[in-house]
Amino acid sequence: MKRTNILLTLAMGLAVSLVSAPVVYAHGSGDHSNPPVISNVSVTPRVTNNPAGLITISATITTVDNNLWHPYFEVHAPGNAGVIYGWMGTISSGTFNYSVNLQDSANFMSPVTSFADFYAIYGGGVYEVVVGASDFLGFHGYAAAPVYLSIHTIPPVISNVAVTPNVTNNPAVSITISATITTGDSGLWHPYFEVYAPGDAGAIYGWMDSTISSGVFNYSVDLQDSANFKSPVTSFAALYAIHGGGVYRVVVGVSDFISGGFGYSAPSIFLTIDTIGPQVTINHPTDGTTTPSAVVTVSAEVNDNLSEVISVKAALNEVELTYDETEGEYSGLVLHPMQGFDITVTAKDAAGNEGSDTVSIIKVHDMGQRSKP
């Protein structure tokens, strides 16, 4: 791609003005009607939190005439607030591969002669990197499309991460991920979310915002709204239809806008989808028990593999049973009338599911009735 209106200061003091079409100049440099081809332009690493580390610009430049060209590089600060630049050599016809260390002062023609010093002036953010070839006399030239270098020395802070509800028996209900993301430099970030199926067997994901720079950002994302997704599966209900109930892992993070592979994430939180009620087994009294007492001790085992058991009650009169850690069961005292009756123990879990067990008391001996002699 050709780049217009870029000014460079040459060693001989000539200003270089790049034009958008090849021009023939009779200034001793010959016919440059065949533009150079500039390819394989890259900066390594593309993203870093160490502005003093090794940063390399590489490119391939192919020329098809015998005239002289000056390959050059430019690095523009965020917002084009400043620039560093230098020559990559002098070339004629051929193919030339370049690799320039941006921390080596020998490569620079600008007053600032290392990227570390340049960063010290302008700080973190996205730097634009340009590679081009200028006519040796400085009259015209060409530049490739920019590539980008992202400097992030201040990690973002991801806080207040929550999923609401965090346990449910309805995978189609509105489920919201919320978070606060605070960024401290002018670099561009993509806030994102990921929801992994049980065992990380599958995932849904999407952006929480297009791009953000420095500031504090509060997010709330509906996991049933397809507009929030970038993954092929575009709702939590659809992910559940594939993978079923269990514990889903939720991640909120920020990814660098340039590479997508550099970023930070908060610790995982969890969403439990539980559609199965607790398993209840009454241990005492046993079915068919006969008792002379008006008060019966009821004990039961309750198991729920996914969500927390939040209540265990025994009818006749909705007595709340309490958990005995020593016995590993729930127990309590139940009053009953002096006749045959059923005792039902019902347990409810945090997802809203219920499970129960029932025993029948066949005969109750009335202590107030005396047998006749």
Judgement on whether residues 163 and 263 belong to the same structural domain of the protein: yes
Query: What integer pLDDT is reported at residue 170 of this predicted model?
Result: 96
Residue 203 CB partners (closer than 8 Å, separation 6+): 194, 195, 196, 197, 231, 239
Residues 167, 243 within the same domain: yes
Q: Which pLDDT belongs to residue 69?
A: 84
Report the SS3 class of residue 353.
coil
The predicted pLDDT at position 186 comes to 72
Question: 187 with 313, same domain?
Answer: no
Residue among 102, 13, 17 nearest 53 (CA): 102
Q: Which CATH number is 354's domain given?
A: 2.60.40.10
Q: Which of 273, 295, 330 is the last residue of a domain?
A: 273
* pLDDT at residue 60, rounded to an integer: 95
**Co-location of 136 and 176 in the same domain:** no
Q: What is the pLDDT of residue 1?
A: 37
So what's the pLDDT on residue 142? 87
Same domain (yes/no): 173, 234: yes
pLDDT for res 88: 86
Domain boundary among 151, 171, 206: 151
- Number of neighbouring beta carbons within 10 Å of residue 94: 10
Per-run averaged pLDDT (10 residues), the chain, 373 residues: 34 31 37 80 93 96 80 94 91 90 96 97 93 76 91 90 97 97 85 96 92 91 95 96 97 86 90 96 91 86 91 85 90 79 92 94 58 40
Q: What is the per-residue pLDDT for 192? A: 95
In a domain, 369, yes or no: no
Nearest to 236 by CA among 271, 274, 260: 271
pLDDT of residue 36: 86
* Distance of alpha carbon 205 from alpha carbon 22, whole angstroms: 47
Please indicate, yes or no, whether residues 142 and 84 belong to a single structural domain of this protein: yes
Same domain, 164 and 196: yes
Task: Count other C-beta atoms under 10 Å from residue 197's C-beta.
Answer: 20
Q: Are residues 203 and 289 in the same domain?
A: no
Half-sphere exposure (CA, 13 Å, Cβ side) for 17?
A: 1
> Do 19 and 135 belong to one domain?
yes
In the chain, DSSP finds a helix count (H) and a strand count (E) of 2, 29
Domain carrying residue 297? 279-364
**Number of domains observed in the structure of the chain:** 3
Cβ contacts of 104 within 8 Å, gap of 6 or more: 114
| Calpha distance 286→308 (Å, rounded) | 26
- Where does a domain end: 151, 171, 195? 151
The pTM of the whole model exceeds 0.95: no
Inter-residue contact 182 to 144 (CB < 8 Å): no
Shared domain for 201 and 181, answered yes or no, is yes
